[in-house]
Amino acid sequence: MEDEGVADAVLARVREYWHALGLSDEVLIDSLSADCLSRGRRLVSRAHPEELLRRALEEAQRRFDHALAAAFGLPPSNDPYPLAAARAAFLMAPDISADTLFRHDDTTRQLRESLSGQLPQSTPPESPLEMLPVPLDFWLFQSTDR
C-alpha cells in the first residue's frame, strides 16, 4: 500500500517535470512517466523513495535529451555543448510544443529547420593557433630544457 503511494507521488512529480519541459499530450506524458518510473524501479531498492524520484527524473531528462538530439540530428557524443545549445534554442522558443520531439515525422524535421537559426554559433569562428614552445624552469633542480 505504501509502495503505491510512493509510486503515485513519483509519477506526479515526473508528470510535472514533463509539463515544465513543454509537453502537453497527456497520453504521451502518461506513457513516458510510466516508463521513467519503471526504469527508476529497476535501479533502486524499494526502501529509498527519494532515490526512486531522482532516478525517474534522471530518466526523464535522458529521454528528453535523446529525443532532442534525434530531432536535431546530433550524433551521440561526449561533448555536451551541442546538445546544451539545442536545448537552449528549443526551450527559448515560446510557440513550439515539446510533443513534436517525440513524434518522429515531418513536424520534427520542420522543428529542426525552424530552430537552426537560433542555435548559438561560435563568434568569431574557431581557428586554432600554433603555440610556440616555452622553456620550463624548475626551481628545485636545474632544468635540462635549456
Q: Quick one: pLDDT at residue 1? A: 37
* Alpha carbon distance 103, 116 (integer Å): 19
DSSP 65-125: HHHHHHHHTPPP-S--HHHHHHHHHHHH-TT--GGGGGT-SHHHHHHHHHHGGGS---SSP
69-106 pLDDT, tens digit each? 888 888 777 778 888 888 888 888 777 778 888 887 77
